[in-house]
Structure 1
Amino acid sequence: MRRALRLLPLPLSIAICLPAMADDKPVNWGLCPATEVLPAFSEAPQADKAAAAARDQLPTDIEGNELSGTSTVPQYQGNVILKRGDQFMGTDNLRIDTETGNYIAEGNVRYSDSSIRMVAERAEGNQESDSHKISNIQYQLVSRRGNGGAESIDLQGSIGQMHQSTYTTCDPSQPVWKLVAPQIEVDNEEGFGTARNAVLHIGKVPVLYAPWFKFPIDDRRQTGLLYPKLSLSGRNGFDYAQPIYFNLAPNYDDTLTPRWMSKRGLLLDNEFRYLYPGGKGQLDTTYMANDSLRDRDRGKVEFRGYHNLDRHWQARANLAWVSDERYVEDFANRLYGITSSNLSSTAGLYGTGRSWTAGLMADHWQLTDYTLTERALPYSRQPRLFGTWEESFGNWLEAGIYAEAVRFTHDDVHGKRIDADGEYVRNGVVTEMPGGSRLDIKPYVSMPLAGAAWYITPTLAWRYTAYDLERGLADDIRRKQLVAAGINPNTATPEQLRGNVSPTRHMPITSIDMGLFFDRETTLDGKSYLHTLEPRLFYLNTPYRDQSELPLFDTRAFTFSWGQLFRDSRYTGADRQNDANQLTAALTTRLIRQADGREKLSASIGQITYFDDARVTLNPSDPVVHEGKSAWVADMNWAVTDRWTLGTSYQWNPKFRKEDLASLRARYLFPEDGVINLNYRYRRNPSNGADQLKQVDFSFLYPINPRWSVVGRYYYSLLEADRKPLEIIGGVQWDSCCLAVRALARRYVKNREGDMNNSFQVEFVLKGLSSVGQDTDRTLRRAILGYNRDDLYLVPPANIEANDDDYDPNLIP
C-alpha cells in the first residue's frame, strides 16, 4: 500500500509554482486577519522539518471506516486517512487497483504536510505510469503566507501542468491583489516553471500582463526576467530598468539590466558574480552610448573581490574606473555623488595573526570633480608595505611597532579653463607632479597599571621617518621655505633654491594616560540607577623638530573632536608629528539604569592645556598653536524617556569667545512604528572665524493609522552664501494585509552648480511575491534614520568607507 502515497507530494507543485518569486525583504503581516484560509486538519500528524526529511523511509498507514472490494482492488470508505511522516491525506472514498496501479480518491480530498494544506474534489491516476489528475483545488501555504486554487492539475512524473491557477497572500474575502495564470507548466526535476498569459490583478483591475515567463520553483536559480524598476525625474525623464538574470553555473551568475531614460537614452548595466571556497568577487560594468545629457559615450567598470591564500593571508582588490569626470555626479541620486571628488582603486596582499598585521598593496586615484585638476588628487601609493606588531610581556609591560615603506606617485596635472558654455575644459597646459619614497618606523613600550577603580599607562615611543624625494619636489618645498622666511625665490641663489632630497626626522614621544572610576547607587523617579564619575588626564610630551623640509604626501590635520583630546598627534599620516607639551583634562559621568543596563544619561567635557607653543604646522606659513587653552569639547546624550532621546555636541573656543562647533540631535520613536528626527549642525573655521557649515535636517515617518503613514525629509543649508534646500522628500504609504504602496516626490541638488532635480517614485509591494517599481525602501532608509527600527541599533553606513589596510601610527594603544 505504500505505492499509493506517491501522489501525496505531487500537489506541492501548486504551492511552489507562483510564490516562487517571493521577495526576501521582510514584510509586515500585522494587518492580516488571524483566521486561516484552510484550518489545520484535526487528523493530521504533527508537521515538522525532521518528519519531512524522513518521510521517504517511513511506512504508510491507511485506515478507514469500511474496507470492501477484493484483495486486488481494495476500496476504503468513510473517513479514509493515509499518514506518512509529516504527510496526511484524507478522503471519503479511495479505490486502488493493485495490478494496474490505477487509483481514484473522491469526496472531500484533503492533504497537508509541513509546507502546504490543500483540499480538492477528486484525485485519480496511475501509480505505475506516475500520471495523476487532481480537480478543483484550493491550497494554503504553511511555511509562508499564500493561498490560491486551480481548476485542475495534470501530473506526469516530474512534469506538471496547472489550469486556471491563482496565487495571493491576501485573505480570500479581500483579494487586494491576485496573480492569475490560465496555464502553468512545472518541471520539478529541472526546478522551473513556465507561465503563459499570466495577469496580475490589483482589485479587479489587471495591471500587468506577461504572455510568457519562466521562473524557479525551488532554491535553484534559473535564467529569466526579474521585476522591473520604474521612476520619473527631471534629469532622466521616464526611467525604466529591466533586469535579466542568467544562471550560468552553480557558483557564478550574471545579471544584465537594460535601462531606458527618455531624456538620455539607453544604458546597459551588467553584474557578474562568482563564488568558490577560497573567495568571491563581483564585476560591474556600465555602458551608455551617446548620453544626451553630455553628448558623449559614458561608462564605468568596478571590481570587488578577494582570495584566501591560507588562514593568515588574503589577496584583495577593489578597482574602479569611470569614463569622465562628471560620471559620478550624473549617475548618483544622492548628495554623495556631488561631494565626491575622486575614485580610488586598491589591490594588495594582507595578512593578520594573533599579534601582527602586514600588507603589500598599491592604489590609484581618478578625478571625479570636473571643477578641479589632478592636483587635488591624493598621491597614489605604488607600492606600500606596512606591518604592525604588539605583544604583552607579563601583566605590566607591552611593546609594539608600526612600520611602513611606501612609494608616492602622482598623475600629471592638466590645466583647465571655462569655455563659452561654462564648461571646464583642458587648456593643454600640463604640469608634472614629482613624488618620492618614505620610510616610517614607530616602536613603543608601555606599562599598563590598573586597579579596581583606577588605571595609569605611561608610554614611550620613538618615531623615525626618512624620505627619498624627486628633485622637483624637493626644490618646490625649498621655495616654500624661502617664502615663509621672507626671501624672494626669484632673487635667491642656486644653492639657496636647491632642496634636500633625503630629509629625515626622529623624535621621542612620551605620554601618560590615567583615570579614576567612581560610582554610587541613586534613585530617580523611583527607579534605581548607577551614577558614575570618570575623571581622566592625558599628558603628552614631544620635542620640537623642524619639519619644513618634509613633503605632504598623505597627511592632513584631524578635525578637532573628543577623540583628538587623547591622541599623540594632530595629523593623519606620517609627514608631520607635532611637538607637544600639553595636558588633557576630561570628565565623564553616566546614569545607568540598574534594571536593564540602559544608559539614561552620558555627559563628557574636556580641554587641552598647551604649556608651550606647538610650532609644527602643515605648511611653513600656517599659524602655530599657541600656549594656552584649546576649545572646550562637550558631548551629552540624554534618554528623556524610552522614546525621547536628545544629544548635543559643543565646542567653545576661548580665543574667539564663540563656538567652533554645535550640533543638536533629537529623536522620538512612536509606540509601534514611526520616528521623528531633528538635527542641527554648525561648524566654524577656527583659523579665520568663517562659517563652514550650517544645516538643519528634519525627517519623519508618521503613522496616521495602521494603514496610512506619511514620510518626509527637509534638509536645508542655512549659510548666508548658500541658503537653499539640499534635499526635500514628501511621500505617503498605504499598507494592507498583502499589499503596500509607497509614493515619493523628491527634490534634491543634482550637481555642483547647485541645480535642483525633481523625481517621482512609486513602488507596489506585493507581499509574498515581490515589488514593482523603484526601490523606495532604500531611499527612505538613507534619508530617515529609524525608518527601519533595526537601523537604530547599527552604526549608520558612512559615505566614505575606511580602507581595510588602514592603520593609525599616531594612536598609541
Structure 2
Amino acid sequence: MNRSLPLTAVLATGLAASVVAAADTDDGDAARLDTDHVPRDPGALRQIQLCGPPLAPPPDAVDRTLRDHPDTPLILDAEAIDADGLRALYRLRGNAELRRLDQHLRAEAFDLDEAAGQAHVPGAFAYSESGLHLWGTAGRFDLDADRMEVDGAEFRIHPHMHGAARQLMSTGPEQTRLTDLRYSTCPPGDELWWLHAGSLDLDHDAGLGEARHARVELGGIPWFYTPYLQFPIDDRPRTGVLPPSFGQSDTDGGYFTLPIYVRLAPNYDLTLQPTYYSRRGVLLGSEFRYLRPGFDGELSAEYLPDDDVYAEQLREDGEEVDAERWAVDWSHRGDLPYGIGYELDVERVGDVDYLRDFSSDLVGSSDAELESRALAEQSRGSHQWEAELQHWQNLRPEDRDDPYRRWPAVTYEHTPGLLPGGLEYRLDGEAVRFELPEGPEADNDQQRPVGRRYHINPQLSWPLQRQAFFIEPGLSLHHTRYDLERAEGAAGDEQLSRTVPIASLDAGIFLERPFQVGNRPFLQTLEPRLFYLYAPYRDQQDYPDFDTSERGNTVAQLFQENRFAGVDRIADADQVTAAVTTRFLDIVEGSELLRASVGQVYYRGDRRVTLDTDPDDPALTRSSSDIFADAELRLPGGLSVRGEYRYDPEREEAAATSLAADWQYQPAPGALVNLGYRVRQETEEDEDDELVLETTQDLIEASAVVPIDARWRGVGGWQYSRLERTNLEVVGGVEYRQCCWAVRGVARRYRRGSAQEAENTFMLEFELTGLGRLGQDTASFLEDVVPDYDETVF
C-alpha cells in the first residue's frame, strides 16, 4: 500500500503558501522543540525567545520523497481492525492510528478503501507531519484524486502560524478553499491580531489567492476591511498595490509613497511610485523593466512639475524661477549578430541641485557629474574592439570645467599570447574625437582645444618565469597623432605627432622562510624587485590634455612604463626602480596576515615632460624620488589596518601619509560593533609658497547593533570629521518586537549637498509578522550605515 493516506500535505502547502506570500514568517508558542533542529542564527534564536518553540516540526525534518518509497512501511494500529482483503476495505476502531514516515493520523475510528483510494474519518482526528499539525471534527480523503474535506479544521504551521476554518476543502493539488478562516502568528491564547476571511480560495497553478470579506483585527478592534482581495501566493509577480512608505525631513516635510506594481507581461513590468511631499508637492516616479531574448533593460524616471521649496530657494538667490524637477536613468544591454554586445546608459537630471534634494538611487553615484554612454564591443579570438559614445552632464559648472566628451571613441586590442621563442606580443590602438559643449576654449594661458586623437601602442616582451625568480625584458612604441581645433586666436599647431619608443627590464626573486609561533606554522616571503625603464624625451608642451593625469602615490605605480595615466603625455625616463615586498602567511588558514612594500626610483637624468607641474620645479632634477611604502595588516578578531607613507629625503620629512583602520566585533549573537578611522595628509603650498604637510581627511566612524533584551534592539551610526570638528552623519534607531508584531524608528542627521547643509530625517516602520509591513524600508537604509548589517539582527 504505497499511497500516503492523508493529503494534508496539500493543506500544509496551501496554507504555508498563502501565509508566506503575505509576508515574512517570524513568531508563536506551544509544541515540543526538537533539539535536532535548534536554529543557530541570531534571528531564529530571538524568535524562539519571543514566541517559544515552533508550533510544528520544520518542513525539512525528513526527506518527504521517502514517503512513497517501497521500503517505507505503512503501519495501521487500532484496538480492532476489520479487513475485507478481497475488496481491500479496512475499518479501524478504538484508538486508531496510521503512521508513515513523518505522517501520523490519530482518530477514534476511520475507514480505508485501498482499492478506491478513499478514507473517511467520521469523528474528531489529529494529524501531523513535518511542518504541520492539523485537527478536525471529521474528514474525507480521496487519495487517488488528491481531494480532501475537513470539517472544523484547526492548524498550526511551522514556525508560529496557526488558525482555524469551519471547513477546509481541497479539490486537487491545484485548488484549496477555506471557509470562515482566522489566522495569526501570535502565540495561541495571546493573539494581538487576527486575520479573518469569510472564504479564502487558493489557486496554486495560477499562484493566486482570493479572500472575501477579509478584515484585520488589532486588539479585538477591526482596523481594515475589504469585501474582496486578490493576492499572490508564490514568487510570481502580480499587479497590485505594494506596501506604502512614509517619513519626515526638515526640508521636505512629511512624505508618503504608495507604490503600484503593474505586471504588463511575463517579461515586462512597471512600478509607479507617486510620492507626496508636504512642502514640495507630488513627485511622480516610475520604473519600467523589460526582458527579451536579445536584450534587457530598465528605465526609471521621476518628475515633479512644481517644487515649492526649490522655487523659494531660487527666489532667495535672485535666479529665474523654474521649479520643474525631473530625472531619467536608462540602462539597456543587448546582443547583436556575430558576437557583438552593446550597452546604453543614460543619466540626466533637470537641474544641478536634483541629487542634493532627492537622495535616491535613481541616477549616478557622483554629485559632480553624470555620465551617459553608448558602447558596442566584439571579441574574436585574440582580437577585441570597442566603439563608444560618451557624454557628461556637469553638475558643478561654477567649480569644475566641463569634462571632455568622447564623441566617439574606437579602441582595438590584439593579444595573440606567446609567440615562437617565448616572446609575448600585444597591440593596443585607439581613435577618439574629443568634444566640449561650447566648442574649443581659451582662457588666458589655458587652452582647451577639441579634435581627434589617434594612438597606437605595439608591445613586445620576453617573460622568463621560474619558481624562485622572474626576468622580463620589454619593448614598446607609443605613436600619437592629433588633429585639433583651437579657439579663435589661440596659439599652437592644429596637427601634432609624437613617437616614443620605450625599453624596460623587470626582474625579481622570491625568497621564503617557514617558522612557527607555538605549534602554528607560518611562512614569510621576501620579494626584492628591480625595474629599469628608458624612454627618450619628446617635447609635448603644446599638446592638449584630454584625459590624462598624474599617477597615484603607491609602490605599484613605480613599475609602470609611463608616470602619467593616459596617453596625452608619454614621460621621458632613464631610471631604475628598486622595491622589496614581504608577506606573512598563515599556512593553516591560507590567509595573508601582513603585506608590506617599500620602493624608490633612482633617476639617471632630469625629467622634462610635465603635465600640471611647473617645468622649473626642483623635484624634476632630483636624482631620486620620494620613498614610497605601503602595508596591510589583518589580525584575528576582526582588526585590519592599511597604510601608505611617502617620505621626501630632500626635505627629510613626510610628503604624504594615509591610514585606514577597521575593527569589527560580534560580542554576542545578534550584536555587532564596527569602528573605523581614516586619516590622510598631503603636501601643499602655504601662503609663503613653502611646502607643508596638510591634513585633508580625518574621520572617525562607528556603528553598532545592540540587543538590549529579547524585545528591544538598538542600532546606531556615527561619522565625525576631526578636520572640520563636526558630525557628518548621526543615525540612531530602535526596534521593539513582540512575537507577532514590531515597530522600528530610525532618526538621521547628516550633511547634504556641496554646501553641507544639516538635514534631519525620521523613518518609521510597522510590521505584523507574517502579514505585512507598513512604512519606510529601514533595513535597506541601515545596510549602508552599518557594515555587514543583516536584517536578522535587528
The alignment's TM-score, normalised by the length of structure 2, stands at 0.82
2:786 maps to which of 776, 784, 787: 784
Q: Post-superposition shift, 1:623?
A: 5.8
Using the alignment, how far apart are the partners of 1:180 and 1:565 within structure 2?
71
Trace 1:445-524 onto structure 2 (pairs within 5 A).
445-472=460-487, 476=490, 478=491, 499-524=492-517
Q: Which residue of 2 aligns with 1:732?
A: 734
Q: Post-superposition shift, 1:101?
A: 11
SS in 2 for 1:778: helix
Over 3 Å counting, the alpha-carbon distance change for 1:49 and 1:439 in structure 2 is farther
Q: Post-superposition shift, 1:97?
A: 9.2
Q: Post-superposition shift, 1:553?
A: 1.6
1:651 maps to which of 605, 624, 646: 646
Q: Post-superposition shift, 1:310?
A: 5.9
Over 3 Å counting, the alpha-carbon distance change for 1:23 and 1:287 in structure 2 is farther
Q: Post-superposition shift, 1:311?
A: 8.2
Contact 1:346 1:362 in 2 (8 A): yes
Q: Confirm or deny that 1:412 pairs with 2:453.
A: no
Q: Which amino acid aligns with 1:512?
A: L
Q: Post-superposition shift, 1:777?
A: 2.5
Over 3 Å counting, the alpha-carbon distance change for 1:35 and 1:548 in structure 2 is same
Q: Which residue of 2 aligns with 1:801?
A: none
Q: Which residue of 2 aligns with 1:217?
A: 233
Q: Post-superposition shift, 1:212?
A: 5.4
Over 3 Å counting, the alpha-carbon distance change for 1:523 and 1:10 in structure 2 is closer
Contact 2:56 2:132 in 1 (8 A): no
Trace 1:28-427 onto structure 2 (pairs within 5 A).
28-33=43-48, 35-39=53-57, 47-48=62-63, 50=65, 63=76, 65=78, 66-67=80-81, 75-78=91-94, 91-95=107-111, 104-107=120-123, 109-111=125-127, 116-124=132-140, 133-141=149-157, 145-155=159-169, 157=171, 158=175, 160-168=177-185, 172=188, 179=195, 181=197, 183-195=199-211, 213-295=229-311, 296-309=323-336, 312-332=339-359, 340-369=367-396, 371-372=398-399, 376-390=401-415, 391-393=417-419, 396-412=422-438
Q: Which amino acid aligns with 1:20?
A: A
Q: Which amino acid aligns with 1:216?
A: P
Over 3 Å counting, the alpha-carbon distance change for 1:611 and 1:256 in structure 2 is same
Moved more, 278-287 or 431-440: 431-440
Q: Post-superposition shift, 1:238?
A: 1.5
Q: Which residue of 2 aligns with 1:712?
A: 716
Q: Which amino acid aligns with 1:757?
A: E
Q: Post-superposition shift, 1:465?
A: 0.9
Q: Post-superposition shift, 1:139?
A: 3.3
Q: Post-superposition shift, 1:701?
A: 1.2
Q: Which residue of 1 aligns with 2:658?
A: 662
Residue deviations 1:73-132 (CA, integer Å, cap 9, x gap): 975434556689987655443357999999742445344566644333333488999986
Using the alignment, how far apart are the partners of 1:642 and 1:781 within structure 2?
22
Q: Post-superposition shift, 1:546?
A: 1.0
SS in 2 for 1:164: strand
Q: Post-superposition shift, 1:700?
A: 2.1
Over 3 Å counting, the alpha-carbon distance change for 1:163 and 1:591 in structure 2 is same
Q: Post-superposition shift, 1:545?
A: 1.0
SS in 2 for 1:30: helix
Using the alignment, how far apart are the partners of 2:282 and 2:402 within structure 1?
32
2:623 maps to which of 625, 628, 634: 628
Contact 1:632 1:652 in 2 (8 A): yes
Using the alignment, how far apart are the partners of 1:681 and 1:613 within structure 2?
33
Using the alignment, how far apart are the partners of 1:716 and 1:162 within structure 2?
58
Structure 2: which 5+ residue stretches go unaligned?
27-40, 312-322, 686-690
Q: Which residue of 2 aligns with 1:484?
A: none
Over 3 Å counting, the alpha-carbon distance change for 1:323 and 1:68 in structure 2 is same
Q: Confirm or deny that 1:548 pairs with 2:546.
A: no
Q: Which residue of 2 aligns with 1:803?
A: none
Using the alignment, how far apart are the partners of 2:222 and 2:666 within structure 1?
37
Q: Which residue of 2 aligns with 1:805?
A: none
Residue deviations 1:612-653 (CA, integer Å, cap 9, x gap): 222222258566551233333322233443333333333333
Using the alignment, how far apart are the partners of 2:649 and 2:766 within structure 1?
56
Over 3 Å counting, the alpha-carbon distance change for 1:78 and 1:368 in structure 2 is farther
Moved more, 778-787 or 584-593: 778-787
Contact 1:185 1:194 in 2 (8 A): yes
Using the alignment, how far apart are the partners of 1:526 and 1:358 within structure 2?
54
Q: Which amino acid aligns with 1:530?
A: L
Moved more, 692-701 or 189-198: 189-198
Contact 1:739 1:765 in 2 (8 A): yes
Over 3 Å counting, the alpha-carbon distance change for 1:363 and 1:129 in structure 2 is same
Over 3 Å counting, the alpha-carbon distance change for 1:711 and 1:256 in structure 2 is same
SS in 1 for 2:467: coil
Using the alignment, how far apart are the partners of 1:308 and 1:279 within structure 2?
6
Q: Confirm or deny that 1:16 pairs with 2:17.
A: yes
Q: Which amino acid aligns with 2:230?
A: K
Using the alignment, how far apart are the partners of 1:432 and 1:534 within structure 2?
45
SS in 1 for 2:55: coil
Q: Confirm or deny that 1:699 pairs with 2:695.
A: no
Over 3 Å counting, the alpha-carbon distance change for 1:662 and 1:180 in structure 2 is farther
Q: Post-superposition shift, 1:398?
A: 0.8
Contact 1:269 1:284 in 2 (8 A): yes
Q: Post-superposition shift, 1:386?
A: 0.9
Q: Which amino acid aligns with 2:15?
A: I
Q: Post-superposition shift, 1:134?
A: 2.6
Moved more, 502-511 or 208-217: 208-217
Q: Post-superposition shift, 1:216?
A: 0.7
Q: Post-superposition shift, 1:12?
A: 3.2
Contact 1:696 1:716 in 2 (8 A): yes
Q: Which amino acid aligns with 2:512?
A: D
Contact 2:526 2:583 in 1 (8 A): yes
Q: Which amino acid aligns with 2:623?
A: G
Q: Which residue of 2 aligns with 1:565?
A: 558
Using the alignment, how far apart are the partners of 1:253 and 1:27 within structure 2?
36
Q: Which residue of 1 aligns with 2:320?
A: none
Using the alignment, how far apart are the partners of 1:8 and 1:606 within structure 2?
69
Q: Which amino acid aligns with 1:402?
A: D
SS in 1 for 2:564: coil
Q: Which amino acid aligns with 1:223?
A: T
Sequence identity of aligned pairs in percent? 30
Q: Which amino acid aligns with 2:763?
A: Q
Q: Post-superposition shift, 1:516?
A: 1.7
Using the alignment, how far apart are the partners of 1:59 and 1:524 within structure 2?
55
Contact 2:440 2:486 in 1 (8 A): no
Residue deviations 1:491-529 (CA, integer Å, cap 9, x gap): xxxxxxxx3111111101222222221111222355321
Q: Post-superposition shift, 1:728?
A: 1.8
Q: Which amino acid aligns with 1:399?
A: Y
Q: Which amino acid aligns with 2:423?
A: L
Using the alignment, how far apart are the partners of 1:699 and 1:286 within structure 2?
34
Using the alignment, how far apart are the partners of 1:24 and 1:290 within structure 2?
42
Over 3 Å counting, the alpha-carbon distance change for 1:645 and 1:559 in structure 2 is closer
Using the alignment, how far apart are the partners of 2:493 and 2:102 within structure 1?
83
Q: Post-superposition shift, 1:68?
A: 5.3
Over 3 Å counting, the alpha-carbon distance change for 1:531 and 1:94 in structure 2 is same
SS in 2 for 1:32: helix
